[in-house]
Chains A and B, each alone.
Chain A
Amino acid sequence: MNHVTLLTRGFSTLVSLYPLHFREEFGEEMEAVFSAQVDDQDDYGPLPIVAICLHEIPDLLINLLREHLSEFARRSGLGNIFQGKPVPNLLWWGALVFGLGSGIGKTIGLLTGLSTLKFGDYTFWAVLASFLSALLFTGAQTWLFWQGSSQRENKWGFLVPVVGATLTSLLTLLLSIRYMPMGPLYDRGEWWFWAIDWPLLSTMLWGLVFGALFGWVYQGRQAIFRFAAIGAMGRALAFILWQGSMAITYRVFHITDELPHFVAVNVWFLLWNLVLVILGGMAFGALIGWQASREEKHSPMDGVAV
């Protein structure tokens, strides 16, 4: 086997890493062009061939990555967002964004909140951090749903993330003020108290207001009550999931201190909290998105994809 064939084979192997449809359309041509290029330069010694390879390989790796990203964007429908086209699989993307966003947001809030309680009065920063993080996740979700909505002309759309974020920061403020040591309660098997106490009601209120606003912006007045109910239920479910799992966590880690320390166990505590909140957020996002998808499917307006 001569070096031209060897190089062409190596190039073919790299081309085989391209997404299938690209490979099927251009793979053979690319190999033929590369082979012709190497063949042409073969008479001038090894240097021009080395130059071709040095030029080709980094470019190919970058283009490979670009093609895979573009394939991912095409298949998932995410590419449509950046082209202003309706987004398929909106429900799942909305749920994912909301889940990830609320997980990260709530963990930031929790970290700041715990700092507030343990190291001094940082309530202002806790409220600000939760406002900004909530603005991020409610904003991202709203924007995502907006892409597939038939109600884009509604000028009050911006209220959804703003109200969502304000409600979250109010909740953080309330939690900072009303915080009570949970460890001993969990340890005494009284976690249910926390699951039905005011944190649940306040989070349901969050879902109620956010859901109602979301429904109004996306579907109009007739959808306010439906979305309010779904918002409240979704938040309640997410909260109970989080709270119940945290009770188990407390038992597993035997946390009995008034406040967990910021070493060792807290890394796991925060990571576990992050996972739970993401799951809870995704459940909430999926519920809202599912309802929005159903409504959009029945919408008489054209050009709406769900």
Chain B
Amino acid sequence: MTPSDLPLSEQTFFILLSLASAPRHGYAILKDVQQLSDGRITISVSTLYTSLKRLLEQGWIERVERDTPDESGRPRKEYRLTRAGHRILSSETTRLQGLLQAARQRLPQEP
């Protein structure tokens, strides 16, 4: 991980976050990201796979093939977070917490 890796884009952050709890296939990631962001972020299929390709190249996620095939009989491909992926996600979360903390100290609390 290099300092230039941070901050993560919102999309990348949510994709990594989606894979943090369990490996998922493409469609499950799309739906999960939408749910995690309260419907605010809808990733298109092409953007999802462009991002997955980049994340695979960076070594933040890896591909796993499930024994159980999908509906069309093809082996189901899932993605899971690697150790490097976990590290970057933690670093980004820490960074965001820092920002939040600073903002909370300065901004008046809402009643």
Where the two chains meet, the residues of A that have a C-beta atom closer than 8 Å to any C-beta of B are 11, 22, 25-26, 28-30, 32-34, 36-37, 55-56, 59-60, 63-64, 66-67
Contacts and interface: CB of A to CB of B under 8 A. Distances in A.
Interface in B24-71: 25-27, 30, 42, 44-50, 52-53, 70
Q: Is the interface of A mostly helix, strand, loop or mixed?
A: helix
Contact of B47 (A22, A32, A36, A59): A59
B72 interface: yes
B77 interface: yes
B74 interface: yes
Contacts of A66: 50
A33 B27 contact: yes
B44 A59 contact: yes
Given A28-B74, A29-B26, A34 B45 contact: yes
A26 B44 contact: no
Nearest to A21: B53
Given A33-B45, A56-B45, 16 more contacts: A11-B45, A22-B53, A28-B74, A30-B26, A30-B46, A30-B49, A32-B72, A32-B74, A33-B30, A33-B48, A37-B27, A37-B30, A55-B42, A55-B44, A60-B46, A66-B50
A185 to B, nearest CB: 59
Nearest to B77: A29
Contacts of B46: 30, 56, 59-60, 63-64
Contacts of A67: 50
Contacts of A59: 44, 46-47
Q: Which are the 5 A-B pairs with shortest beta-carbon distances?
A: A59-B44, A60-B46, A63-B46, A33-B26, A26-B49
Given A25-B53, A26-B53, A36-B27, A60 B48 contact: no
Contacts of A22: 53
B44 to A, nearest CB: 4
Contacts of B74: 28, 32
Contacts of A32: 26-27, 70, 72, 74
Contact of A60 (B25, B44, B52, B77): B44
A37 B50 contact: no
Nearest to B51: A63
Contacts of B53: 22, 25-26
B20 to A, nearest CB: 20
A25 B47 CA distance: 15
A25 B72 CA distance: 17
